[in-house]
Structure 1
Amino acid sequence: MNVEHLSLFVRVAMTHNISAAGQELGLSPAVASAHISKLEDALNVRLIHRTTRKVSLTEEGEAFLPHAEEVLAQVDAARASVGKGNASPSGKLRVAAPISFGRSHLVPALKDFLARYPDLKVDFRLSDSMVDMVEGGFDISIRNAALKDSTLVARKLAADKRIVCAAPSYLKEFGTPKVPTDLLEHECLRLIGLEVWNFNGKEGPQSIKTNGAFRTDSGEVVRDAAVEGIGITISSTWNCYQQIANGQLVQILADYTIEPETAIWAVYPSSRLLAPKVRAFIDYFSERFSGVPYWDAKSKPRILAHNVALISVGKK
Structure 2
Amino acid sequence: MNNDHLRLFVRVASTQNISMAGNDLGLSPAVASMHLNKLEESLGIKLIHRTTRKVSLTEEGREFLPHAEEVLNAVDSAKASVGVGSFTPQGTIRITAPSSFGRMHIVPALKEFVKAHPQLKVDLRQSDSIVDMVEGGFDIAIRNASLTDSTLIARKLATDKRIICASPDYIKQFGEPKTPSDIVNHQTIKLIGIDHWDFDTPEGVQKIKPQSTIRIDNGESVRDACIDGGGLTICSIWCAYKALNNGQLVQVLKDYPVHSDTAIWAVYPSSRLLAPKVRAFIDYFLKYYGDKPYWES
Match of 2:22 in 1: none
Judging changes above 3 Å, is the alpha-carbon distance between structure 1 residues 117 and 146 closer, same or farther for their aligned structure 2 residues? same
Judging changes above 3 Å, is the alpha-carbon distance between structure 1 residues 35 and 157 closer, same or farther for their aligned structure 2 residues? farther
Secondary structure of the corresponding residue to residue 106 of structure 2: helix
Match of 1:162 in 2: 162
Match of 2:126 in 1: 126
Unaligned runs of 5+ in 2: 19-32, 46-59, 65-69
How far has the Cα of 1:217 moved from its partner? 0.5
The 8 Å contact of residues 187 and 213 in structure 2, kept in 1 or not, is answered as yes
Secondary structure of the corresponding residue to residue 131 of structure 1: coil
Structure 2 CA distance for aligned equivalents of residues 177 and 200 of structure 1: 15
The 8 Å contact of residues 77 and 87 in structure 2, kept in 1 or not, is answered as no
The 8 Å contact of residues 170 and 230 in structure 1, kept in 2 or not, is answered as yes
The 8 Å contact of residues 5 and 35 in structure 1, kept in 2 or not, is answered as no
For residues 29-60 of structure 1, the C-alpha deviation after alignment (integer angstroms, 9 at most, x for no partner) is 9987654459xxxxxxxxxxxxx9x989xxxx
- Is residue 2:229 matched to residue 1:229? yes
The 8 Å contact of residues 5 and 36 in structure 1, kept in 2 or not, is answered as no
How far has the Cα of 1:227 moved from its partner? 0.1
The 8 Å contact of residues 198 and 259 in structure 1, kept in 2 or not, is answered as yes
Secondary structure of the corresponding residue to residue 258 of structure 1: coil
Amino acid at match of 1:280: A
Judging changes above 3 Å, is the alpha-carbon distance between structure 1 residues 24 and 295 closer, same or farther for their aligned structure 2 residues? same
Match of 1:218 in 2: 218
Secondary structure of the corresponding residue to residue 144 of structure 1: strand
How far has the Cα of 1:250 moved from its partner? 0.2
Structure 2 CA distance for aligned equivalents of residues 55 and 200 of structure 1: 49
The 8 Å contact of residues 6 and 72 in structure 1, kept in 2 or not, is answered as no
Amino acid at match of 1:101: F
Amino acid at match of 2:80: A
- Is residue 2:71 matched to residue 1:77? no
Match of 2:140 in 1: 140
Aligned residue runs from structure 1 range 168-179, under 5 A = 168-179=168-179
Judging changes above 3 Å, is the alpha-carbon distance between structure 1 residues 35 and 185 closer, same or farther for their aligned structure 2 residues? farther
The 8 Å contact of residues 142 and 267 in structure 1, kept in 2 or not, is answered as yes
Q: Identity rate of aligned residues, in percent? A: 52
Match of 1:262 in 2: 262
- Is residue 2:253 matched to residue 1:250? no
For residues 247-292 of structure 1, the C-alpha deviation after alignment (integer angstroms, 9 at most, x for no partner) is 0000001111222221000011111221111100000001112211
Structure 2 CA distance for aligned equivalents of residues 218 and 278 of structure 1: 27
Aligned residue runs from structure 1 range 197-208, under 5 A = 197-208=197-208
Aligned residue runs from structure 1 range 1-316, under 5 A = 2-3=2-3, 23=13, 34-36=41-43, 72-77=75-80, 81=83, 86-297=86-297
How far has the Cα of 1:88 moved from its partner? 2.8
Secondary structure of the corresponding residue to residue 173 of structure 1: helix
Structure 2 CA distance for aligned equivalents of residues 35 and 246 of structure 1: 62
Deviates more, 1:246-255 or 1:113-122: 113-122
- Give the TM-score of the pair, scaled to structure 1: 0.73
Structure 2 CA distance for aligned equivalents of residues 37 and 166 of structure 1: 62
Structure 2 CA distance for aligned equivalents of residues 35 and 142 of structure 1: 37
Structure 1 CA distance for aligned equivalents of residues 104 and 171 of structure 2: 27
Unaligned runs of 5+ in 1: 12-21, 39-51, 57-66, 298-316
The 8 Å contact of residues 78 and 273 in structure 2, kept in 1 or not, is answered as no
How far has the Cα of 1:72 moved from its partner? 2.0
Aligned length: 263
Amino acid at match of 2:222: V
How far has the Cα of 1:25 moved from its partner? 9.8
Judging changes above 3 Å, is the alpha-carbon distance between structure 1 residues 97 and 31 closer, same or farther for their aligned structure 2 residues? farther
The 8 Å contact of residues 94 and 138 in structure 1, kept in 2 or not, is answered as yes
> CA-atom RMSD, angstroms?
3.4
- Give the TM-score of the pair, scaled to structure 2: 0.78
How far has the Cα of 1:123 moved from its partner? 0.7
Structure 1 CA distance for aligned equivalents of residues 203 and 91 of structure 2: 54
Secondary structure of the corresponding residue to residue 172 of structure 1: helix
How far has the Cα of 1:138 moved from its partner? 0.7
Deviates more, 1:132-141 or 1:146-155: 146-155
How far has the Cα of 1:158 moved from its partner? 0.4
Structure 2 CA distance for aligned equivalents of residues 31 and 214 of structure 1: 60
How far has the Cα of 1:111 moved from its partner? 1.5
Amino acid at match of 1:92: T
